[in-house]
Amino acid sequence: MQESNKIYIAGHRGMVGSAIKRRLESEGFQKLIYRTSSELDLRNQHAVREFFETEKPDVVIDAAARVGGILANRDYPWQFLYENLQIQNNIIAAAHENDVQKLIFLGSSCIYPKLAEQPLNEESLLTGPLEPTNQWYAIAKITGVKMVEALREQYNHDYVSLMPTNLYGPHDNFDLETSHVLPAMIRKFHDAKEAGHSPVTLWGSGSPMREFLHVDDVASAVLFTLTHKMEHDLYNVGTGKDITIRQLAETIQNITGHKGEIVWDSTKPDGTPRKLMDVSRMKEAGWTYSIDLKEGIRSTYQWFLDNIEDIKEVKL
């Protein structure tokens, strides 16, 4: 990798893509290219091919996806499956067809079976049924992982899939209907505090265990992958540490300053009992995370407060 390499970041305005953009800019990479969704519809195969043929990027980072939590996956299964397949298929195929030197495909830990042995390691892929509440997104991402693997095997491409654990940070989605658990909790506890410390109702029992990684650490992992020859096609990216959803809620309640009651609605689904990543493969390659969870939540809540007027206007 050279600073003069032309790098295309797909999904540069999302939480992950914007963090990658910030990190690469801070490292001196100047030839970064990106397009908004209105400028380039990544679901349109012809448009994506035309873009690649015109711009000729040396490197591609695919951080573009339709994302959401349990509720969004439940309500929009077709969109989560079809649109994510369209986006990644078009990007990966165009990269191959235009001799892109290096590609990083970003997915999620939900690609692993619901009851896979913990912590989740890369070898457990496709060894059992998926978690039903996010299977549509997971199936699309598994397809992307296999496309990367196939291109490495057949054409010896330097393409790599990175599977982050649950992410959070600046530019997260705080919409209560479509967001993931951590940003949803920040929004709920903040709004309840503003409403006189009213009770906060959360889904499930609070017993499932989850691992959380700050998005700036993902950007760090992407930079590491760009600047190193990676031995494997698939790497987990996480902290290797998890907490219960109840502990997460209490931590966020404390950081936001909410003093009211937490009510657990056990009629709602918990999702996967535990999702902890085995990050030994990435650690052996030479990368590890650096941002502590409490520190990361504090900075994310501050970003939320600094941008709250814009956040309130977002309707997904």
pLDDT value for 312: 65
- Report the 3 state secondary structure along the chain: CCCCCCEEEECCCCHHHHHHHHHHHHCCCCCEECCCCCCCCCCCHHHHHHHHHHHCCCEEEECCCCCCCHHHHHHCHHHHHHHHHHHHHHHHHHHHHCCCCEEEEECCHHHCCCCCCCCECHHHCCCCCCCHHHHHHHHHHHHHHHHHHHHHHHHCCEEEEEEECEEECCCCCCCCCCCCHHHHHHHHHHHHHHCCCCCEEEECCCCCEECEEEHHHHHHHHHHHHCCCCCCCEEEECCCCCEEHHHHHHHHHHHHCCCCCEEEECCCCCCCCEECECCHHHHHHCCCCCCCHHHHHHHHHHHHHHCHHHHHHCCC
pLDDT value for 315: 44
CATH of domain 7-172+212-240+275-291: 3.40.50.720
Tokens of 251: 């931590």
Q: Is 109 annotated as a binding residue?
A: yes
Task: Output the pTM of the full model.
Answer: 0.92
Overall size of the chain counted in residues? 316
**So which residues are the catalytic ones?**
137
In tens, the pLDDT along 3-37 reads: 789 999 999 999 999 999 999 999 999 999 999 99
pLDDT value for 71: 77
Question: In angstroms, what CA-CA distances link 310 with 87, 174, 245, 256?
Answer: 27, 11, 28, 19
For β-strands 243-244 and 209-210, DSSP reports them as antiparallel
Count other C-beta atoms under 10 Å from residue 2's C-beta: 9
pLDDT value for 74: 85
Q: Is 146 annotated as a binding residue?
A: no
Break the chain into its structural domains and give their ranges.
7-172+212-240+275-291
pLDDT value for 313: 56
Largest CA distance in the chain: 61
Q: Is 294 annotated as a binding residue?
A: no
Q: What does residue 19 show for φ and ψ, rounded to 5 degrees?
A: -65, -40
The pLDDT tens digits along the chain (316 residues) read 777 899 999 999 999 999 999 999 999 999 999 999 999 999 999 999 999 999 999 999 999 998 877 777 888 999 999 999 999 999 999 999 999 999 999 999 999 998 899 999 999 999 999 988 889 999 999 999 999 999 999 999 999 999 999 999 999 989 887 788 999 999 999 999 999 999 999 999 999 999 999 999 999 999 999 999 999 999 999 999 999 999 999 999 999 999 999 999 999 988 778 889 999 999 999 999 999 999 999 999 999 999 998 886 544 3
Q: Is 14 annotated as a binding residue?
A: yes
Tell me the C-alpha distance between 120 and 107, whole Å.
Answer: 14
pLDDT value for 127: 97
Q: Is 193 annotated as a binding residue?
A: no
Q: Is 287 annotated as a binding residue?
A: no
pLDDT value for 236: 98
